[in-house]
Amino acid sequence: MQVVRWQPRLPDTFVEERFSTISVSERKTTLVDTEDAEDSTTLYRRAGETPGLRPQSVDTESGFWLWEGALDLVHYLSQLGESCCCKQIGVRHGALEILEIGCGHALPAIYLARQGHCVRVDFQDHSCQVLETITQPNVWRNGIWKQLHHEPQFYAGSWQSWLEDASMDRRYDLILASETVYSRASTRLCLQVCRKLLKPHGMALFSGKTVYFGLDGGMVELVDILHEIGGQSHLLWCTSQQIAATRREIRSVAFDIGARPTPANPACPISAAPSGG
């Protein structure tokens, strides 16, 4: 696991035109705009597009997209009100220590930090390039690092390397994960990382599709693997589609009975998906 040094300024190659503003749940956030980038190594930002990624390249390249799951998660978090997840976890407002894994644009973590919920926010992605050219500029441009009590940490590397690195022992109240359950193998690794890094009463929030068409992952696999390794999950939010390949969900994950949040109206799925503007 590589620690990517935080640079509290934009790289010299960045200009203001490299950013665009999206609106999610009436909150505007400025993100690196990779949609029309001339650099052929930079992929697309537009939410909802299906990138032509090979299974072996998802881990390292998918962070350049802004995925629907990240927008869903921000939409859900915005509905929780001022206390957000603090009440369920048992942490006072403004004292959350958060990690976003597979962060990419890091929209959910940026949203929580801007709302004043956090004292620490750290970020992990498989790709060092994503952290340096997407995540860090987004964190810088939205000014969240000024609101935190601790300098944000950026970790590049696989989830497997995190499990094997004994020095990576920081614990978090809340772990965020958007669209990381695209394969059974990635789902298992994500859950193992959460079990290692969550505080005793912490929890994780996963957003993603019920089933990923053409792959062996999805929220169905998450629930199945949790049963194997000993954890609990609640369905907190879902779209109303009946076809599993198009339905999207948000689930809580915990490894301690005291961390179970109460599902947010699970009998009444939200049919209107949030969208970026």
- Is residue 275 included in any domain, yes or no? no
- Is residue 273 included in any domain, yes or no? no
- Is residue 82 included in any domain, yes or no? yes
**What beta strand segments (E) does 79-171 contain?**
96-101, 118-125, 154-156
For the full predicted model, state whether its pTM sits above 0.95.
no
Number of domains in the chain: 1
- Write down the pLDDT at residue 73: 92
Model confidence pLDDT, tens digit, residues 142-197: 888 888 889 999 999 988 988 888 888 899 999 999 999 989 999 999 999 999 99
Model confidence pLDDT, tens digit, residues 260-273: 455 444 434 444 44
The parent domain of residue 77 ranges over 11-259
Q: What is the CATH number of the domain that holds 104?
A: 3.40.50.150
User: Does the structure show a pLDDT above 50 at 98?
Assistant: yes
- Which helix (H) or strand (E) segment holds residue 274: the answer is none
Answer whether 156's CB lies under 8 Å from 128's CB. yes
Model confidence pLDDT, tens digit, residues 46-76: 334 444 444 444 444 554 567 789 999 999 9
- Write down the pLDDT at residue 55: 44
Question: pLDDT confidence of 78, banded at 50, 70, 90?
Answer: confident
- Is residue 117 included in any domain, yes or no? yes
Mean pLDDT of the chain: 78
Task: Give phi and psi for 214, each to the nearest 5.
Answer: 85, -5
- Write down the pLDDT at residue 39: 38
- Is residue 238 included in any domain, yes or no? yes
- Is residue 168 included in any domain, yes or no? yes
- Is residue 2 included in any domain, yes or no? no
As a whole-number percent, the residues of the chain with pLDDT over 70 amount to 71
**Where does residue 229 rank: exposed (0-12), middle (13-18), buried (19+ CB within 10 A)?**
exposed
Residue count (the chain): 277
- Is residue 266 included in any domain, yes or no? no
Rounded to whole angstroms, the Cα distance separating 188 from 163 reads: 12
